[in-house]
Amino acid sequence: MMVIPAIDIRQGKSVRLKQGEIDKEVIHSNDPVFIAKLWQAKGAERIHVVDLDGAFNGIRSNKEVIKNICSSVDVPIEVGGGIRSINDVDEIFNMGASYVILGTAIIYNPEMVKKAIKKYGSDKIIIAIDTKNGNVAVEGWKDVTSINILDIIPTLQNMGIKQILYTDVSRDGMLTGPDFFGIKQISLNNNIKLIASGGVRTINDILDLKKYKNVIAVIVGSALYTSEFKLEEAVKITRDKE
């Protein structure tokens, strides 16, 4: 299982939010490129980057920062946030990203998602499914649909999607532990691969996630800035336990 550190970017800064709420923003660095280099130095094999401005208002205003991150590190970068069209997907890959994350588009523009998969392959397109109380949230988590996550997964599989990034919004940035119940429910009902996100606090959370056969990676955000979690230790443990 891979441990993937997150860099959320808003107005050019590396920030963390709690439950996706801007008024709970904590700025960690004015230099996201430096943070990316730091995570690489600590052993990250991939880095998760989100354009929060794009996610919240559809205006991807952090393109240059993301492009600089892609060109400044030697590990794959996965990028999400406000990617609504095939032109957006093309642009992200042209910046040097290795993977594109699509969330809102899967609900409002599934045909575009199909085009992206056909053009770049299902291994390069990751579908983000963010939930509140089990229902899918979109538009930077502002809107909650009536679609239950367990109901949408068969549709995703029929589209050829191989992996989803699953986030329980209520846990994001809260350091309360992952949504093990939700992850178990998803794992029991299908064979789709999961990237777990939201709530990771300690190394033990990482080891517990390894018990689920479908979980191929975990994204860590706020825990990276606490004394209880060391990225280099998490990377080493997951490698040693293979």
Catalytic residue list: 8, 130
What angle (nearest 5°) sits at the alpha carbon of residue 90, between those of residues 84 and 94?
135
CA separation for the pair 164, 186 (Å, rounded): 11
CA atoms within 13 Å, Cβ hemisphere of 139: 6
Could you please report the per-residue DSSP string of 128-169? EEEEETTEEEETTTTEEEEEEHHHHHHHHHHTT--EEEEEEG
Q: Kindly compute the dihedral angle of the four CA atoms of residues 176, 30, 125, 230, in this order, to the nearest 10 degrees.
A: -40
Helix (H) or strand (E) holding 157: helix 149-158
CA 73 to mean position of chain CA atoms: 18
CA atoms within 13 Å, Cβ hemisphere of 53: 13
> Residue 12: CB partners within 8 Å, gap ≥ 6?
30, 32, 62, 65
Cβ atoms 116, 161 nearer than 8 A: no
Amino acid identity of residue 186, one-letter, is I
CA 38 to mean position of chain CA atoms: 19
Amino acid identity of residue 30, one-letter, is N
Q: Which residue has the tokens 């789709």?
A: 192
